[in-house]
Amino acid sequence: MSRQALAGMMAGASSATAADGPPRLAFDLNGQGLAMSVWNGDYRSNLLMADLVHADGQPLVIASRILTGTPIAERSATTDMFHDLAAVAQQSGRSFYLLGGTEEVNRDCARKLQDLYPALRIAGRRDGFFSRAEEPAICAEINASGADIIWVGLGKPNEQAFCVRNRPLLRAGWVITCGGCFNFVAGTYRRAPQWMQDAGLEWIFRMVTRPRQLAWRYLTTSPLAFLLLLLRTHECSPTAQRQTHAR
């Protein structure tokens, strides 16, 4: 599915809204998540609860093109998808709730969104620093805002666990995990040059520009992720494809 099709499905005029009940879950998958799914059973179980898993990492797209006859249409990097949905949502009237990041980053992200998409309604926002005991109250706050699309930027595996755990409490069309997306929108993180993104090398750019935060993560997850892509990328059976589309 293309980025344009994803945006239309999630934020278009016919997309699900807050009035439709418990939300659908959309989780991103990249090399870190692929590796984490091997050693973290809870994360793997939560990932399987998603209604939609999209390819946030270009290596996943490249592997699908080389090793299967049903390649992924294109990469849907979460930061790009964030802008795609914002552009569509301001036309359809769908609203956002931003959950995650520091207060400063969350605030700056909301301001940047309003500058870029003046007609977009941001129903509410709050930072990502809270205890599990506070989650029911946070869900009630989100529901009261009437947000149609909830962006959850708490980092893996916390954001997936939050979404699955609180799905019964939430009323929205979609809940979408977004990692550090708010930082990119706010301008505190930089994207890699386009050629590195296209070549599946954005992780190297991030590791070099933020070595203290990311060097260990990428050095420990990227080799395993590449091995998994090589050994486990295969065609889905017709039955599996039907089950995937029906979720």
**pLDDT averaged over the chain?**
91
- Res 244 pLDDT > 60: no
> How does pLDDT run across 50-60, given as a tens digit for each residue?
999 999 999 99
**Mode of pairing for the β-strands spanning 121-126 and 95-100:** parallel
| Annotated domain spans of the chain | 3-246
| Nearest by Cα to 43 from 28, 54, 24, 58 | 28
On whether the pTM is more than 0.95, the answer is: no
The closest of 27, 15, 5, 30 to 167, measured between CA atoms, is: 27
Alpha-carbon distances, residue 190 vs 45, 110, 184, 214, 247 (angstroms):
31, 17, 6, 14, 34
SS3 191: coil
State yes or no: pLDDT of 247 exceeds 60. Answer: no
